[in-house]
Amino acid sequence: MNEKIESRKPPVATTGIIGWLRINLFFNWTNSLITIFVIYCLYQFVPWILDWTVFSADFKYNYLGQQITNQEMCSRNLDPENGGACWAVIYVRFYQFIYGFYPREEVWRVNISYVMLAIALLPLLITKLPYRKIFLNFTYVFPIIAYFLLNGGFGLPDISTNKWGGLLVTLVLGCTGIALAFPIGVLLALGRRSKLPVISMMCVLFIEFIRGVPLITLLFFGMVMLPLFLPEGIDMDGLVRVLVAVTLFQSAYMAEVIRGGLQAIPTGQYEAARSLGMSYWRMNFQIILPQAIRISIPPIVNTSIGLFKDTTLVIIVGLLDLLGIGRGTLADTNWLGLSYEIYFFVSLVFFIFTFGMSRYSLYLEKKLKTGINMGAD
């Protein structure tokens, strides 16, 4: 009985490429049938989409070699048998898609803001970044710098927000909404669980009211009603009014998501913190919230993605975000009928951002699962 039994290698056919194929794609006959069907669909679809988007597509010139300036010059309109997508519309209108109607001579301000946004996100994305603390400080002051840079001040000419548009508006709404809604949501969630009845009731009322109303209603509310509440003579910027509505909306959802996380924290954590003499805020910021927010990362990212896409609704109150610029372009007689290209492009841009967010959430979750690096920050 003392003989040592060597561990044996698994049977050959379960390892390697063949083994993988057999287990995952051809395990039994239904499995194989589905695999063959999917391969057939891909065979039909992939070459066609590649051909349409890349190989037969116009980028700047049509198949005659002319530079495209309107839809009539697109290859697919000149020769319906041959042409693919006509990306020239994106090329020609690229400036509007990215900056809206921001004056060309001032556009460097937007570009710097985009670059700064990327730098501000770095310490959030990469936890092992060298000098992360300094970068984080930059992240905190970035919104103030970006506000003055984009809006004007300190010697920079004012650019009214009705000239902003495209990706600029989408990012301003999305980033500000998410960034402001998070702390407000945390406070609302704590407030709703507060033992003080006045505070908890106010938070419940706020959350339930905002959640019970569609975002579009809130946008109209921001546009039409908000000025009525302001003292006379103070004119609130249109973008700011929309931002208020978007932030309120998002903070109510964020509050409920974080409340879910809070409810998952065992009472023992509260008792341990209190028995050590920690105050209410200390306990929440050091012990409870770091754990609750970790638990809620997937739904937090989920509602954030939702908000980022919902910013397209601002079109109904007259702001031209990325989709708004796209629709504006479609209404231009020069580019009539190019809806495939424009919606494809707008979808792609949204997809890049939301997919990035979803990968980020997966990365965070994975980091937590390994459980080792759980330092609070």
Where on the chain is the footprint of other proteins (CB under 8 A)?
Answer: 266, 268-269, 271-279, 282, 286-287, 290-291, 294, 371-372, 374-376
Residue 53 or 291: the one with the smaller Cβ distance to other proteins is 291
Nearer to other proteins, 274 or 359 (CB): 274
- Nearest approach, Cβ of residue 278 and other proteins (Å): 6
Minimum Å gap between C-beta 366 and other proteins is 16
Report whether 62 contacts 73 (CB < 8 A): yes
Nearest-CA neighbor of 293 among 283, 305, 304, 285? 285
CB of 365 to other proteins, least distance (A): 14
* CB closer to other proteins out of 225 and 272: 272
Q: How far is the CB of 193 from other proteins (least distance, A)?
A: 18
- Cα angle 51, 53, 56 (rounded to 5 degrees) comes to 50
Measured from the CB atom, the residue of 72 and 365 that comes closer to other proteins is: 365
Nearer to other proteins (CB atom), residue 231 or residue 268: 268
| Minimum gap (Å) between residue 275 Cβ and other proteins | 4
Nearest distance from C-beta of residue 44 to other proteins, angstroms: 50
H/E stretch holding 194: none
CA 294 distance to own-chain centroid: 19
Closest distance to other proteins from the beta carbon of 282 (Å): 5
What span, in angstroms and rounded, lies between the C-alpha atoms of 245 and 219?
6
Nearer to other proteins, 118 or 276 (CB): 276
Burial letters for 299-332: b for 16+ Cβ neighbours within 10 Å, e otherwise? bbbbbbbebbebbbbbbebebbbbbbbbbbbbee
> Which of 11, 268 has the CB closer to other proteins?
268
Residue whose CB is less far from other proteins, 282 or 359: 282
The DSSP symbol for 320 reads -
Token pair 């980022």 is found at: 308
Amino acid, single-letter form, for residue 274: R
* Secondary structure tally for the chain: helices H, strands E: 17, 0
Give whichever of 60 and 274 is closer to other proteins, judged by the CB atom. Answer: 274
What is the nearest approach in angstroms of other proteins to the Cβ of residue 268? 4
Q: Kindly write down the DSSP assignment for every residue of 267-289, as one continuous string.
A: HHHHHHHHHTT--HHHHIIIIIH
Alpha carbon distance 116, 132 (integer Å):
15
Separation CA 297–CA 291 (nearest Å): 10
The 8-class DSSP code of residue 110 comes to H
- Coil, strand, or helix at residue 101? coil
Which amino acid would we find at residue 339?
A: S
Q: Taking the complex as a whole, how short is the minimal distance between the CB of residue 139 and other proteins, in angstroms?
A: 22
CB of 374 to other proteins, least distance (A): 4
Q: Based on CB atoms, which residue is closest to other proteins, 285 or 360?
A: 285
- Give the contacts of 120 (CB within 8 A, at least 6 positions apart): 135, 138, 139, 142
CA angle 112, 250, 359 (to 5 degrees): 60
- CA distance to 109, 178, 217, 309, per residue, from 317 (Å): 26, 20, 10, 16
